[in-house]
Amino acid sequence: MSGMSQPSPHRSPAPGPGRPDASMSLLTHVMDHSLDEGYAEAAARREAEGTAGLPRTLRAKLGLAAGLVVAAMVVTLGAAQARVAAPVLAKERQELIDRVERADGRASTLENDIERLRDDVAGRQRAALKQSGGDGQGRLVALLSGATEVRGPGVKLVVDDAKGASAGGGGPRENTGFSDTGRLRDRDMQRIVNGLWQAGAEAVSINGQRLTALSAIRAAGDAILVDNKPLVPPYEVLAVGDKKRLGTGFQDSADGQYLHVLQENYGIRATLTPENEVRLPAASSLAVRTATAGAAEPKKGAS
């Protein structure tokens, strides 16, 4: 059987029948592996954790509740402390009010004592001047210096801030010379008083504060001070003198026109009325700077 052909030892066996879907290998792979590996891992992890999302939500709710409880405790403690401190604060406030009232009472008593002593001194001065024949001159000096009360005809000028005047001083006024806040300033009051003096006033007072040659009109914030005493608007300016000539002279003066500009442009309110009699008190802060004592008569029998 040598003539028969032998199969070649290097020939591979015939391949078996192929898969029917061999030509659809990509589609088969997608069907067998429908999820990406990352998605698959995430899905497996979620399955392993089970209801892991629920505890996280529950923990958030518990944290919020705890925060609300702490806030409520803080508010409650604050309210309790406020209730405990309220009587103490009320007591301290009442003590301060009592101290202020006692101080006001002492100040009023001292002012009455000053008035009484001033009247006593004035009486003694008049008696001494009458003995020396200088009573008339002494009265004139006392009148001009503001040491005595003054009564007589004159004018009453009431000046007030504009309606709804804003707070604050309005800043420097070098450019216009006026205030744009509707509030009367110390410079305005100075010009008003100077205008009355120039018109012929013999004595002037502002809100009961008698002005003298040593008086100063200044400002402290929004307040106007006369001899370091604060004034409250409306400002009542009284001037003793010829009521007709005094009123007309002031209105025609430069300072009267200044006040008119304040009225027209800045809403400052002012009324000037003649008075048959005005009463001005004596100056409360009058100080004697110089004095000359008369020569004392020698006693009898003195060598």
- What is the number of structural domains in the chain? 1
For residue 194, give its domain range. Answer: 152-280
Both tokens of 241, joined, read 């003198």
Q: So what's the pLDDT on residue 174?
A: 40
Phi first, then psi: what are they for 247, rounded to 5°?
-65, -45
Answer whether residue 178 is part of any domain: yes
Q: Is residue 245 part of a domain?
A: yes
CATH number for the domain harbouring residue 183: 3.30.70.1880
Q: How far apart are CA 136 and CA 141, in angstroms?
A: 9
Span 52-68, pLDDT tens digits: 444 567 767 777 888 88
Sign (positive or negative) of CA dihedral 14, 19, 25, 28? negative
Token pair listed for 37: 């590996």
CA 232 from chain center: how many Å? 16
Sign of the four-CA dihedral 114, 115, 120, 121? positive
Q: What interhelical angle do 243-252 and 186-199 show, nearest 10?
A: 130
Residue 286, domain member (yes or no): no
The closest of 205, 207, 212, 213 to 241, measured between CA atoms, is 205
pLDDT at 214 over 70: yes
Name the residue with higher pLDDT: 42 or 192.
192
185 domain residue, yes or no: yes
- The residues, any chain, with a CB within 8 Å of residue 154's CB and separated by 6 or more, are 201, 238, 239, 240, 241, 243, 246, 274, 275, 277, 278
- Reply yes or no on whether the pLDDT at 250 is more than 50: yes
Residue 100 belongs to a domain: no
Indicate whether 297 belongs to any domain: no
pLDDT attached to residue 171: 38
- Hey, which of 121-125, 133-137, 146-150, 238-242 has the most confident mean pLDDT? 238-242
The reply to whether 223 falls in a domain is yes
- pTM check: above 0.75: no
- pLDDT for residue 234: 92
Residue 287 lies in a domain: no
* pLDDT band with cut points at 50, 70 and 90 for residue 170: very low
Residue 263's nearest CA partner among 192, 172, 156, 162 is 162
